[in-house]
Structure 1
Amino acid sequence: MDPRVREHAETIVDHSVDLQPGDDLVVLLPAEAEDLAVAVHELAGDRGANPVYLNNSDRAERAFLRARDDEFETPDHELALYENADAVVIARGGANATEKADIDPATTAAHNRATRPVQRERLSKRWCLTQYPTAGHAQLAGMSTEAYENFVYDAVSLDWEAQGEFQEQMVDVVDDADEIRIRSGEGTDVTMSVAGNTAVNDTGEKNLPGGEVFTAPVRDSVEGEVHFDMPLYRQGREIEDVRVRFEAGRVESYSAARNEAVLDGVFDTDESARYLGELGIGMNRAIDRFTYNMLFDEKMGDTVHMAVGSAYPECVGEGNEVNESAEHVDMIVDMSEASTIEVDGEVVQRDGTFVFEDGA
């Protein structure tokens, strides 16, 4: 076994989910990540925890979703598993990143609605989502398998204490803010209130790698247009050149140059899928290339991302509404050129560089 796999598992177990004696742990990994599963199980035994291992198979999920021709029901047995869990570890890393590309977006939306209680329960636990490097994801990133392995392991093994100190500077700015304005090129000019809400310093706990500061906009405050000029993969399809117009917080119009039907399914999932649940500011300078993997791409230090759908409750202050949805879809704006982030009228990032960084 590559020694970096065990190092990855140690970061997950000790840093991300803080596994304790007696914890009931759910391990949800694809078959390709068996080495990581073995390392996590070994550490769980050493820590006195109780793991349950589930094979997260895109092929199996595709077969189910394509065969089912009626409404879905909430899987109570799966819900019970997470109700009784203390911690959850999930890894991406299937053999084929486009395995689910031929599932009807409306089917995916219906399934997401039915499994929303499961998702909500899982997110209430100590959880970590990470990546296992596979040839399929290396190919998606346009990298050799070896280069992609190096990229992933370098990204997850940062000095998270030092990274957290760097990001805390932005947390202080956002926590004191009333309004944030984001401008980029000719296609993005959007404002939103974050008054009363809380910024979270992501240092590799729930997402590994971490490397962002994120908060929730006040639900009905988002106004303007956004050009999400970096592509994303959703349901095994590449969505390109997304443009969205917000009025009173709600997505009132949208378009995409490719696979717009996937967006149709997202926005039709439920009413709250047409509202922003998250604003994230990428701050991880160790992630320096785009890989078609949102777990990494949204952390890049010259990007911002916005997620339509559910908000993280820990970001929403008392008296503000938590946007609850069966969807949470992140989309990215490149902030490296002709771009600013303004907080209460003051520029805090210009062309991807923060005011507290060297060279600002």
Structure 2
Amino acid sequence: MDDRVRRHAEILVDHCTDVSADDNVLVRAPTAAADLVEALYERLGERGARPTTEWRHRRAARAYRRALDAEDVRTADHRLAAMAETDVVILIKGGENAAEGSDVDPEKSAAASRAKRPILEERLDTRWVITQHPTPADAQRAELSTRAWEDFVYDAVDRDWDAQRRFQSRLVDVLEPAETVRIVSGDDTDLRLSVDGMGAFNDAGEDNMPGGEVATVPVVDSAEGRIAFDLPVTRNGREIRGGRLTFEDGEVVDHAAERNEAVLTALLETDDGARRLGELGIGMNRGIDEFTDNLLFDEKMGDTVHVALGDAMAECVPDDRELNESAVHADMLVDVSERSRIEVDSEVVQENGTFVFE
């Protein structure tokens, strides 16, 4: 086994989730990530924890959803009960076919998202992390060789996360007292948000590995303007390309896409909260310096901004403020490396990808 796989497991268990002997641990992984699961079990055994694995099989999931009637979609109570007894969740990405599930009815996928919401809510109460195991399929999506993709993933994961946190704290200090944020990029993006009273989250590789962003939550009815997305958004195996959204009073009032617009429509129609924003994220990881068509990495780049439709990051919303709730949380990314700026309370904090404090 590649030593970097064991190092990846060590980071997930020690840095991201701080597993102890008292913890029930769920590892959810595709079969292509068997090496990382094996390394995790070694590390979890050293800690004395109690792990179990839920294997993801996209072909089986596709077959099930295609056969299932939409009215029969419901919450899996046994999974919900198991999640309620779980302390730590390690979610591993790694595909064999990124388009698996692309021929599933989007309405069924939306119904499945709604049915999974109680399980998601239980999972968010655990110590959880999402990460990536490098596979040839994802290397192909990134237009890299398998070896180059492995190097890219492990270089992004094995970093000085304490130093990254200190760097990102400078933007946290700007956002926490802020009232407004404006994002301008090219001719198609000019979005204004209120973040008045909201907290700022410093992601230094706990919930996401790799980490490398600072995030906050827009006031639920505040989004005004338009935004165009530079990278595709993949939902259930379908790529939404050239997506555009127009907001009024915090809600999407118009949308379009160059490819798979129907998938974007189905996403927005999942529930009432799916038309509102639950996150504004600003990438700050300078160790990620190229797009790979993989949002877990691309959204952390220092030249990117992303907003998420749907469920809000609860840790940024005070108890006395409205929390946008939805069965979806769909990140969408804007390249801000050229003809772009981010303004906070009318002051430019980043221009053409460079922060004023860099």
Query: TM-score w.r.t. structure 2 length?
Result: 0.98
For residues 266 and 292 of structure 2, the distance between their equivalents in structure 1, rounded to whole angstroms, comes to 24
For residues 153 and 219 of structure 1, the distance between their equivalents in structure 2, rounded to whole angstroms, comes to 37
Aligned pairs for 1:64-213 within 5 A:
64-71=64-71, 72-213=73-214
Q: Which residue of 2 aligns with 1:315?
A: 316
Amino acid at match of 1:195: D
Percent identical: 55
Contact 1:9 1:39 in 2 (8 A): yes
Query: How many angstroms does 1:345 deviate by?
Result: 0.7
Query: How many angstroms does 1:305 deviate by?
Result: 0.1
Count of residue correspondences: 357
For residues 70 and 259 of structure 2, the distance between their equivalents in structure 1, rounded to whole angstroms, comes to 28
Contact 2:231 2:293 in 1 (8 A): no
Q: Which residue of 2 aligns with 1:238?
A: 239
Amino acid at match of 2:224: E
For residues 227 and 96 of structure 1, the distance between their equivalents in structure 2, rounded to whole angstroms, comes to 27
Contact 2:70 2:111 in 1 (8 A): no
Query: How many angstroms does 1:312 deviate by?
Result: 1.2
Post-superposition, which runs of at least 4 consecutive aligned residues in structure 1 deviate over 4 A? Answer: none
5+ unaligned residues in a row in structure 1: which ranges?
none
Cα distance per residue 1:310-343 (max 9 Å; x no partner): 0111011232111110011000111001111000
SS in structure 2 at match of 1:279: strand
SS in structure 2 at match of 1:115: helix
Cα distance per residue 1:21-60 (max 9 Å; x no partner): 1100001011111111111111111101000111011111
Amino acid at match of 2:98: A
Amino acid at match of 1:172: D
For residues 62 and 175 of structure 1, the distance between their equivalents in structure 2, rounded to whole angstroms, comes to 42
Contact 1:228 1:243 in 2 (8 A): yes
Which shows bigger deviation, 209-218 or 64-73? Answer: 64-73
Amino acid at match of 2:226: E
Contact 1:233 1:292 in 2 (8 A): no
Q: CA RMSD, aligned part only?
A: 0.8
Query: How many angstroms does 1:115 deviate by?
Result: 1.0
Amino acid at match of 2:299: E
Amino acid at match of 1:17: T
Query: How many angstroms does 1:99 deviate by?
Result: 1.0
Aligned pairs for 1:320-339 within 5 A:
320-339=321-340
Q: Which residue of 2 aligns with 1:14?
A: 14
SS in structure 2 at match of 1:318: coil
Cα distance per residue 1:247-282 (max 9 Å; x no partner): 000000000001111101100100100000000000
For residues 105 and 291 of structure 2, the distance between their equivalents in structure 1, rounded to whole angstroms, comes to 27
Query: How many angstroms does 1:230 deviate by?
Result: 2.2
Contact 1:79 1:121 in 2 (8 A): yes
